[in-house]
């Protein structure tokens, strides 16, 4: 089981979302992403770094690395083949932009870009398709992950979001 190293700066974000999530869910319930969109939070509060017409980019609240982004449609859809042509085009355009921005902001040595379709594939929020864009460095899976099953993150989410918003704005 993966353990987590206490990062006190994350408590405010988690508590804010728990308070917001306690409000009435959107009609039909919805994924955490649908609830975030319906919450009334500002993009800054929700760590949304880019909005398009049919899709948006949000910072992962529990990232594998600083700058870990999720690109997804506004519409809650589980499968790639259920996206409209417009959603498909914008999704992949935003994924490409996210790769450019992450490379420009973080200068990683590599990136992971991927989708988990369905719970058996590891999709923890499988009802709402999302593409991960994760910066990677040699050695980023250090002894903490290998020995203690713990990840460390050097940067508060709010700082990551600010840097990434500026990166998208400069495209």
Catalytic annotation, residues: 130
DSSP state, residue 165: H
- Beta-carbon contacts of 155 under 8 Å, excluding residues fewer than 6 positions away, are 66
Bridge partners of residue 150, in order along the sequence: 3
93 in Cβ contact with 56 (< 8 Å): no
Residue 104: CA count within 13 A, CB half-sphere: 15
- Give the pair of three-digit tokens for residue 19: 């308070």
- Which residues have C-beta within 8 Å of that of residue 165, sequence separation ≥ 6? 49, 50
């Amino acid at each position: 089981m993966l353990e987590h190293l206490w990062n006190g700066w994350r408590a405010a974000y988690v508590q804010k979302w728990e308070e917001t999530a306690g409000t009435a869910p959107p009609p039909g319930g919805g994924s955490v992403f649908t609830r975030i969109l319906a919450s009334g939070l500002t993009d800054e509060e929700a760590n949304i770094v880019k909005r398009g017409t049919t899709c948006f980019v949000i910072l992962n609240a529990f990232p594998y690395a600083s700058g870990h982004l999720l690109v997804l449609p506004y519409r809650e859809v589980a499968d790639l083949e259920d996206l409209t042509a417009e959603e498909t085009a914008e999704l992949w355009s935003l994924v490409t932009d996210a790769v450019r921005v992450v490379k420009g902001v973080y200068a990683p040595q590599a990136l992971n870009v991927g989708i988990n379709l369905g719970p058996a594939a590891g999709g923890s929020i499988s009802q709402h398709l999302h593409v991960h864009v994760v910066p990677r460095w040699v050695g980023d899976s250090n002894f903490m992950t290998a020995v203690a099953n713990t990840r460390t993150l050097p940067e508060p989410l709010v700082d990551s979001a600010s840097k990434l918003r500026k990166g998208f704005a400069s495209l």
